[in-house]
Chains A and B, each alone.
Chain A
Amino acid sequence: MAKARGTDGSLLESLPWTLFALMFSLAPHIQFLPWWITAAFIVCGVWRFSIEKRRRPIPSTWFRGFLALLSFLGVLATYSTVSGVGPGSALLAIMAALKLLETLKRRDQFVLLFISIFLVMSSLLREQHLWSLPYLLVAVFLIMTAWLRISSATGQKARRSFSTSGRLVMYAAPLAIAMWIFFPRIATPFWSVPMDTGTGTSGISDTMSPGDISSLSLSDAVAFRVEFKGDVPAPRDRYWRGLVLTVFNGRTWTGNDPFRGARVHEQVVNSGRPVDYTITLEPTRQPWVFALDIPWSWTLERTFMGRQQQLIRARPIDQRVAYEAVSYLDYRTDVDLTEFARSFYESVPRQSNQRTQELAIRMRNAAGSDTAFIEAVLMRFHEQEYYYTLEPPPLGSNSVDRFLFDTRQGFCEHYASAFAVMMRAAGIPARVVLGYQGGELNPMGGHLIVRQSDAHAWNEVWLEGVGWRRVDPTAAVAPERIEVGRGGSMFDGAGAAWGFDMPSALLHKVTLYWDAMNATWNEWVLGYGPENQDKFMEWLGMDDPDWRKMMLTMIAVVIGIVLLISLILSLRYRPPKRDRAAILYKKFVRKTGIEPETGETPATFAIRVDGESVIPVEAVDAITSTYLDVRYGPPNPQALQRLESEVRNL
């Protein structure tokens, strides 16, 4: 038997609120969802509302089933999977849209609100910004208001639901804060779920093909922030080592194989003062861990140092992580290189880029020593007409030849690649290091901001008796790129493009301020993990914090707050204090020994008392009239006193 599908307009009071809450929860997902899901959602919302408004029947089961199948296939076709945050939120949005079409009873809307909550939750899993907290608070407030609209008596004013849910969220806030602070955080997750939350924003990939892309993206996004314990190193020392490319096929550099070497750490010899700092790395969805050249120790779990002194984590970094690290700016690595390793780092395809190789051999012979040769190559970049540009012309096959002899325009990758090929051709072990260079010091927060646009490529060459030594050919072409970084110039450019200069500086300042707030937020709220929590507990006076103590504290604090809320509620709902006159009159009634009947007025009661009791008639009449005066007349303290004495004297 077909179920009744008619609507009667009974949802008109709650449905708009439910729709609003759903829409608000969906909003942060829209930029990640395929457009058709958002469109389907809006169409279903409007459609369902107009059905209710015009009291039409909802669509049939067959039609809804057909739509559900279609949408599921659509999600599958778009994402080719149904697990993960992306397809998950897409499915949630679709479910909400379809559930709308079969919502008939008021309480069916609870499902929609549960979906809203999950949508909010998945948006938090996807991104956590400074505005995410106010967003989630408003979302909870709206969802709970819609919740009240569903369960309230018909005809209740929306304003009342609004204030009630606001009040309840206010009560819940201290509880939430207490639980948030004391709930023990654990370091390792229970299970791993793919976090394919769209494309990574990293400016760094594990291959490098200069000439393939004709322009470098200048993303302003923050790659990581660094807080130094001591002095901040000079700009020219800020090389943030990421990954190391070792294999060149004539066009593309690959070969970042950070397999764990047994004695990697022993091959690093430090000197000078250690640099102590904390990095807060934005999610990259890649396993590379960045640290100041050259890292000595680090606190990030499941992270090891590869053969080429690059850091790598066993799991991709799909959430913001913070780690402390110690680096040494003066170091020597791999002073002894095996014959096999040397030939590995010298190999370059003989057939490709032959002009470059010939030039390299010629220059090496002319220079006489490896060091002199390196100087000569850098001099060539510096003195001849090579330009540093972010939009170089594309290079064909034999890209290094073309770059070195024809176009002579490029950015760091072009120079690093060309330099490494020349070194290898001349028999000097060389490799390419990818990472970031520089970073902008934020005067507000005192930390260093390293952006995606600071992505950089440089070289390392191996010299007999010295080990690997860093050489940055880009510095020879554009020394200002290394000395000051590019941070400031970009903002000036943005201002200049609009024909004014001043506000751009102001804008820059505002941006830095915003960044400082973000950094604090990241450290203390988003980064409130096991370590920060332990620190905070110790600061609160808990010695030797462990999860049991925190759990007990949490339970105690929560119970305390709940009791307090209960007290506030019982005070709010207590009946008004009975006034003094009523208490006195009650005393009088007790003294008469006669039970007043329901609905009996003081006057009629007095007549009954006169008849049945031994109390003098005058006293009864006096008390009754004084009581009526005090109770119903204008405020009269003397009358109250009189009543008091009359009752006492009885």
Chain B
Amino acid sequence: MSSIPWPFPKLGIKPALTNAAHRRVRQWARKRQGIDSTVTRLRPGRVYILPTGVGLVFGLMVFAMLMGSMNYNNNLSFVLTFILAGLGFVAMHQCQRNLVGLELSFAGVEPVFAGQAAQFRVAITNHSKNARHGIRLYTDDSISELQDLMPGESKVFVLAVMTDKRGRILLQRFGIRTLFPFELFRSWAWLHMNLSGLVYPHPADHAPPPPPTETAHGHRQHDARGEEDFAGLRKFHVGDSPRHVAWKAFARSGQLLSKQFSGADTSSQWFDFSAVPSDDVEQRLSILTSWIINADRTREDYGLRVPGAEFPPSHGETQRRQCLETLALFGLDENDG
């Protein structure tokens, strides 16, 4: 839960104390609910509700109005008081019902570089015949946009979670909450889907240039593209430069073919973990990351060699993903996260 909303100032309770209390409550909820599957429908029993600051002020106001009405024996101000009190009761039930029955399903998270925010995407589906208003997801330090869900509608909510180091980022718990209708009550539910995302190493800011690498034949690389010597055609792969597509052949046969040049085949570079000019493992990984990004940007072929894994030179999305993933998880036990 985030800060207590206005108009109450932060209560003067020691943060350590409230944090401990929060932790206890959460542990209790976690134990009670167990691990959620990545598609979870909210049952009524797991939607909690408490009044907000505005709600407490509202309650006090209604009480004051009741006292005033009794004092003046004024039947119309009794009406006003009781309508507001009734609205309070109704708002409480409406607020809880606004969450019950929603279906949350994990919709993936794209890998990011350390230091960027991982965007956990959660789709929320409203299966009921009534609109749900003012829904948002939240974690301890991030909050999604406020959105309405029309009947039958499904919307993606994004939780941006800051990352600081490579490896797997875990989102063990997040919450869904609503203040609808009048912000008098806040109802929320905790979800434990154990979501995880991949975090690539942070690319080194001032990476040294990649070492001049040997070609497969032992010659010094002269031109990464080697476009002089046409060597033949092969089937188009995703990631091939459009400049290499044999457009004439395409016009003739309707098949996408890539031109192959002899220089391109032979003059690929190897990024070798042991050859990186640094002593620090993390620094080496950062530099490798930065090299891979640059090579990928210029569509050069590159191979990666780290202790325990080797990827022959290639380029394209798969190569980039495999290499960066290897760097991200290098030296980490997959299981302990």
What residues make up the interface of A, taking CB atoms closer than 8 Å to B? 107, 110-111, 114, 117, 120-121, 124-125, 128, 132-133, 136-137, 140, 144, 147-148, 150-154, 156, 160, 164-165, 168-169, 171-177, 179-180, 183, 185-187, 189-191, 193, 319, 525-529, 558, 562, 565-566, 569-570, 572-576, 598
> Which residue of the partner chain A has the closest CB to B103?
A575
**15 residue pairs from A and B, CB less than 8 Å apart:** A110-B7, A132-B76, A136-B83, A151-B179, A171-B90, A175-B86, A175-B89, A180-B79, A189-B70, A189-B73, A566-B93, A566-B97, A570-B44, A573-B100, A573-B101
Does B133 have its Cβ within 8 Å of any Cβ on chain A?
A: yes
A121 touches B68 (CB 8 A): yes
Taking a contact as CB atoms closer than 8 A, the residue among A176, A570, A598 that contacts B79 in the complex is: A176
Partner of B76, one of A133, A147, A154, A558: A133
Q: Which residues in A have their C-beta under 8 angstroms from that of B73? A: 185-187, 189, 319, 529
Rounded to whole angstroms, the CA-CA distance of A132 and B74 in the bound complex is 12
**B127 part of interface (Cβ distance < 8 Å):** yes
User: What's the Cα separation between A117 and B65 when bound, in Å?
Assistant: 10
Q: Tell me whether B87 and A144 are in contact (CB under 8 A).
A: yes
* Given contacts A183-B78, A193-B71, A168 and B85 within 8 Å (CB-CB): no
Cα–Cα distance between A153 and B85 once the two chains are bound (Å): 25
Q: Which of B1-29 contact A (CB under 8 A)?
A: 5-7
Question: B67 contacts which chain A residues (CB < 8 A)?
Answer: 190
Q: A152-B134, A152-B180, A153-B146 are in contact. List 15 more A-B contacts (CB 8 A).
A: A121-B65, A125-B68, A125-B77, A140-B80, A147-B182, A172-B83, A176-B79, A176-B86, A179-B86, A191-B71, A193-B72, A528-B75, A573-B97, A576-B127, A598-B39
B147 interface residue (CB < 8 Å to A): yes
Most chain B Cβ neighbours within 10 Å, of A107, A117, A172, A562 = A172
- Tell me if B181 counts as interface (CB < 8 A to partner A): yes
The CA-CA distance from A312 to B236 in the complex, in Å, is 107
The 9 closest A-B pairs by CB, nearest first: A172-B86, A175-B86, A176-B82, A575-B127, A179-B82, A176-B83, A171-B90, A172-B87, A153-B146
- Shortest Cβ gap from B158 to chain A (Å): 15
- Select A136's contact among B76, B85, B87, B179, beta carbons within 8 Å: B76
Q: Do A152 and B133 have beta carbons less than 8 Å apart?
A: yes
Q: Once the chains bind, are B87 and A562 in contact (CB under 8 Å)?
A: no
Docked-complex contact A180 and B78, CB < 8 angstroms: yes
Which A residues are CB-close (under 8 A) to B57?
A: 110, 114
Q: In the complex, what's the smallest C-beta–C-beta distance from B13 to chain A, in angstroms?
A: 23
Query: Secondary structure at chain A's binding surface: helix, strand, loop or mixed?
Result: helix
**Which B residues from 38 to 93 make CB contacts under 8 A with A?**
38-39, 44, 54, 57, 61, 65, 67-68, 70-80, 82-87, 89-91, 93
Separation of A117 and B180 alpha carbons in the complex (Å):
20
Is there an interface contact between A562 and B77, defined as CB atoms closer than 8 Å? no
Which residues on B sit within 8 Å (CB–CB) of A185? 70, 73
Contact B83 A173 (CB under 8 A): yes
By a CB distance below 8 angstroms, the chain A residues around B70 are 185-186, 189-190
Q: Which residues of B contact A576 (CB under 8 A)?
A: 127-129
- Within 8 Å CB of B87, what residues of A? 140, 144, 168-169, 172
Q: What residues make up the interface of B, taking CB atoms closer than 8 Å to A?
A: 5-7, 38-39, 44, 54, 57, 61, 65, 67-68, 70-80, 82-87, 89-91, 93-94, 97-98, 100-101, 127-131, 133-134, 146-148, 179-183
**A156/B85 in contact, CB under 8 A:** no
Known contacts A156-B148, A525-B75, A598-B39; is A175 also within 8 Å of B128 by CB? no
Measured CA separation A443–B2 after assembly (Å): 66
Q: Decide if B72 touches A189 in the complex (CB within 8 Å).
A: yes
Taken together as a complex, chains A and B put the C-alpha atoms of A185 and B68 apart, in Å, by 12
User: Which residue in A175, A319, A529, A574 is a CB contact (below 8 Å) of B90?
Assistant: A175
Residues of chain B within 8 A (CB-CB) of A529 are: 73
Are B93 and A124 within 8 A (Cβ)?
no
Q: Are A319 and B72 in contact (CB under 8 A)?
A: yes
Do A153 and B134 touch (CB < 8 A)? yes
Quick one: which of B72, B85, B94, B183 contacts A569, CB cutoff 8 A?
B94
Contact B76 A107, beta carbon cutoff 8 Å: no
A164-B86 contact, Cβ under 8 Å, with A574-B128, A576-B128: no
Q: Which residues of A contact B79 (CB under 8 A)?
A: 133, 136, 176, 180
- Expressed in whole angstroms, the Cα–Cα distance for A120 and B146 within the complex equals 32
Contact assessment for A110 and B133 in the assembled complex, using a CB-CB cutoff below 8 Å: no
Q: Which residue of A lies closest to B58 (CB)?
A: A114
Q: Are A573 and B65 in contact (CB under 8 A)?
A: no
CA distance A191 to B79 in the complex (A): 21
Name the CB-closest residue of A to B76: A124
Closest beta carbon of chain B to A139's beta carbon, Å: 8
Q: How far is the CB of B98 from chain A (nearest CB, A)?
A: 8
| Docked-complex contact B129 and A117, CB < 8 angstroms | no
Contact A164 B181 (CB under 8 A): yes
A160 to B68, CA, bound (A): 34
What is the distance, in angstroms, from B9's C-beta to the closest C-beta of chain A? 14
Contact B89 A153 (CB under 8 A): no
Residues of B within 8 A of A562 (CB): 89, 93
Residue pair B80, A572 in contact (C-beta under 8 Å): no
Query: B293: shortest Cβ distance to chain A, in Å?
Result: 32
Whether the pair A144, B71 counts as a contact (CB closer than 8 A) is: no
Beta-carbon nearest neighbor of B39 in chain A:
A598
